[in-house]
Chain A
Amino acid sequence: MAWALVPAAPRLISALGLRRLVLSRPVHISLFITCYNDTLFPRTGRAVVAVLERLGHTIEFRQAQTCCGQMHYNTGYQAEAMPLMRHFLEVFRDDETICIPSSSCVAMIRDHYPKMAAASGDSAVARAVEKLLPRIFEFSELLVDKLGVIDVGAFFPHSVTLHPSCHSLRSLHLGDKPERLLKQVRGLTLIDLPEATECCGFGGTFAIKNVEVSAAMLSDKLRCVLGTRAEVCTAADNSCLMHIWGGLSRQRTGVRCLHLAEILASTEAGEVS
Chain B
Amino acid sequence: MSVRVGEAATAPEFPVAAKKLVSNAQIRQNVRRATDIIRNKRARVVEEVDDWEQLRRAGHEIKEHVLRHLDFYLQQFEAACTRAGGVVHWASDAAEANRIIVDLIRAHEATEVIKVKTMTSDEIRLNPALQAAGITPYETDLADLIVQLGEDQPSHIVVPALHRNRMEIRRIFSEKMNLPELGYEPEDLTAAARAYLREKFLRVPIAISGGNFAIAETGSVCVVESEGNGRMCLSLPRVLITLIGIEKIIPKFRDLEVFLQLLPRSATGERMNPYNSIWTGVSPGSGPREFHVVLLDNGRTNVLADDFSRETLDCIRCGACLNACPVYRQTGGHAYGSVYAGPIGAILTPQLQAMQHSQSLPYASSLCGACYEVCPVKINIPEILVHLRGRVVEEGHAPIVERLAMKAAGYALETPERLSLAQKAARIAQIPFTHDGVIRRLPGMLAGWTAVRDLAPIPKQSFREWWAKRQKEPRL
Contacts and interface: CB of A to CB of B under 8 A. Distances in A.
Contact of A201 (B18, B366, B390): B366
Contacts of A167: 369
Contacts of A65: 416
Interface string B120-152: 000000000000000000000000000000000
B458 A39 contact: yes
A216 B325 CA distance: 13
A72 B410 CA distance: 8
B363 A39 contact: no
B363 A206 contact: yes
Interface stretch (A17-25, A74-82, A127-135): A74-82
A75 B389 contact: yes
Contacts of B414: 66, 83-84, 87
A184 B321 CA distance: 37
Contacts of A83: 410, 414
Given A35-B419, A245-B456, A209 B448 contact: yes
Contacts of A208: 445-446, 448-449
B449 A199 contact: no
Interface stretch (A7-15, A42-50, A185-193): A42-50
B15 interface: yes
Interface stretch (A136-144, A149-157, A224-232, A246-254): A246-254
Contact of A218 (B383, B452, B459, B462): B452
A215 B327 contact: no
Interface in B427-458: 438, 440, 445-446, 448-449, 451-456, 458
Contacts of B326: 198-199, 201, 217, 220
Nearest to A169: B369
Contacts of B191: none
Given A45-B466, A46-B463, A76-B392, A210 B458 contact: no
B368 A199 contact: yes
A42 B461 contact: yes
Nearest to B410: A80
A214 interface: yes
A170 B369 contact: yes
A64 interface: yes
Most buried by B among A66, A83, A169, A247: A66
B365 A206 contact: yes
B95 interface: no
Contact of B15 (A72, A210, A245): A210
B65 interface: no
Given A42-B461, A72-B410, A170-B370, A207 B365 contact: no
B244 to A, nearest CB: 33
A72 B458 contact: no
Contact of B459 (A43, A77, A87, A246): A43
Tier of interface size on chain B: 35 or more
A164 B60 CA distance: 29
B448 A246 contact: no
Contacts, number: 189
B296 interface: no
Nearest to A243: B453
B468 A63 contact: yes
Given A39-B426, A250-B453, A46 B466 contact: yes
A254 B454 CA distance: 13
A196 interface: no
B449 A171 contact: no
* Chain A interface, DSSP helix/strand/loop, else mixed: helix
Contacts of A69: 413
A145 interface: no
Contact of A63 (B28, B330, B392, B464): B464
Given A72-B410, A212-B15, A206 B367 contact: yes
A245 B394 CA distance: 34
B61 interface: no
Interface string B413-428: 1111001000100100
A170 B382 CA distance: 11
A207 to B, nearest CB: 6
A176 interface: no
Contacts of A66: 413-416, 419
B331 interface: yes
A255 to B, nearest CB: 13
Contacts of A33: 463-464
A65 B419 CA distance: 10
Nearest to B465: A42
B77 interface: no
B409 interface: yes
B38 interface: no
Contacts of B455: 242, 246
B110 interface: no
Interface in A44-72: 45-46, 61, 63-67, 69, 71-72
B407 interface: yes
A199 B370 CA distance: 9
Given A37-B463, A76-B386, A210 B363 contact: yes
A194 interface: no
Given A170-B369, A199-B366, A84 B15 contact: no
Contacts of B383: 111
B372 interface: yes
A77 B393 contact: yes
B363 A209 contact: yes
B406 interface: yes
Contacts of B415: 66, 87
A100 to B, nearest CB: 13
B189 to A, nearest CB: 30
A207 B426 CA distance: 20
Nearest to B423: A39
Contacts of B451: 211, 215
A11 B330 CA distance: 48
Contact of B449 (A42, A170, A207): A207
A94 interface: no
Contacts of A38: 419, 423, 462-464
A39 to B, nearest CB: 5
Contact of A84 (B28, B368, B373, B413): B413
19 contacts: A38-B464, A46-B463, A66-B413, A66-B419, A76-B391, A78-B390, A84-B414, A166-B366, A204-B367, A206-B366, A211-B448, A212-B15, A213-B331, A215-B22, A217-B366, A218-B452, A220-B326, A242-B455, A246-B454
Given A75-B406, A76-B394, 13 more contacts: A33-B463, A33-B464, A37-B463, A38-B423, A67-B413, A75-B402, A84-B414, A170-B372, A197-B370, A201-B326, A203-B368, A210-B363, A214-B452
